[in-house]
Structure 1
Amino acid sequence: MTEGPVGVAVMAYGTPATPDDVEAYYTHIRRGRPPTPEQLADLRSRYDALGGTSSMAARTAAQVDAISAALEARAPGRCRVVLGQKHAVPFVEDAAATLLAEGVTDVVGIVLAPHYSGFSVGEYQRRLADAMAEGGGRAAAVDRWSDLPEWQAFTARAVGDALADLPAATKVLFTAHSLPERVLVGDPYPGELARSARAIARQAGLATWAGWGLAWQSAGRTPEPWRGPDVLEVIRDLADTGRSEGVLVCPQGFVTDHLEVGYDLDIEARAVADEVGLAFARTRTVDDDATVMGALADRILAAADDLARPEAP
Structure 2
Amino acid sequence: MRPYDAFLLISFGGPEAEDDVIPFLENVTRGRGIPRERLAEVGEHYFLFGGVSPINGQCRDLLAAIRADFTEHEVDLPVYWGNRFWAPMLTDTVRKMAEDGVRRAVALSTSAYSNYSSHRAYLDDIERARAEVGPDAPEIELIRPFFDHPGFIEPLVDHTLQALERLPEDKRTGARLLFSAHSVPTAMADASGAPEQGYGTGGAYVAQLEEVARLVAERVGGGHRYDLVYQSRSGPPSQPWLEPDINDRLEELAADGTEAVVVVPYGFVSDHMEVKYDLDNEARQTAEKLGLAFERALAPGTHPAFVRMVRELVAERAQGAERVGLSTLPGCPEGSADCCAQR
Amino acid at match of 2:61: A
Q: How does 1:197-276 map to 2 (within 5 A)?
A: 197-207=213-223, 211-223=225-237, 224-242=239-257, 244-276=258-290
Aligned with residue 174 of structure 1, among 158, 174, 179:
179
Partner of 1:255, secondary structure, is: coil
Q: Distance in 2 between matches of 1:199 and 1:279?
A: 24
Q: Which SS does the other structure have where 1:179 is aligned?
A: coil
Q: Distance in 2 between matches of 1:265 and 1:294?
A: 27
Counterpart secondary structure, 2:107: strand
Equivalent of residue 108 in structure 2, options 110, 126, 130: 110
Aligned length: 302
**Structure-2 separation of matches of 1:247 and 1:127:** 38
Deviation of the 1:124 alpha carbon: 0.8
Other-structure match for 2:188 = 183
| TM-score (structure 2 length as normaliser) | 0.82
Deviation at 1:216?
0.7
When residues 206 and 192 of structure 1 are mapped into structure 2, their CA distance, relative to the original with a 3 A threshold, is farther
- Alpha-carbon separation, structure 2, partners of 1:292 and 1:89: 24
**Distance in structure 1 (CA, Å) of the matches to 2:175 and 2:69:** 37
My pick for the range that moved more, 47-56 or 148-157, is: 47-56
How far is 1:121 from its partner?
A: 1.8
- Gap runs ≥5 in structure 2: 193-203, 322-343
CA contact (8 A) 2:161 2:220 kept: yes
1:96 to 94, 97, 102: 94
**Structure 1 residue 145 displacement after superposition:** 1.4
Distance 2:96 2:295 in 1: 41
Q: Which residue of 2 aligns with 1:311?
A: none
What residue is the counterpart of 1:153 in the other structure? Answer: 154
1:306 deviates by 4.1
Q: Which stretch shifts more, 21-30 or 48-57?
A: 48-57
Q: Deviations over 1:31-80 (max 9, x none)?
A: 1568545323322321122343222211111112212222233234x312
TM-score where L is the length of structure 1: 0.89
Counterpart code for 1:135 = P
- 1:86 Cα shift? 1.3
CA distance in 2 between counterparts of 1:17 and 1:154 reads 27
Report the 3-state secondary structure (helix = DSSP H, G, I; strand = E; otherwise coil) of the residue aligned with 2:108. strand
Deviates more, 1:97-106 or 1:194-203: 97-106
Superposed CA RMSD in Å reads 2.2
In 2, Cα distance between equivalents of 1:170 and 1:286: 21
Spell out, residue by residue over 1:135-188, the C-alpha distance to the aligned partner (whole angstroms, 9 max, x if none): 353222212112221321221111111112321321000011111111111411
State the one-letter code of the partner of 1:102.
D
Distance 2:306 2:319 in 1: 20
Query: Compared with structure 1, are the counterparts of its residues 100 and 141 closer, same or farther at alpha carbon in structure 2 (3 Å cutoff)?
Result: same
User: Letter of the aligned partner of 1:182 in structure 2?
Assistant: A
CA deviations on 1:275-305 (whole Å, 9 max, x unpaired) are 1111111001221223311221111132133
**106, 128, 131: which one aligns with 2:129:** 131
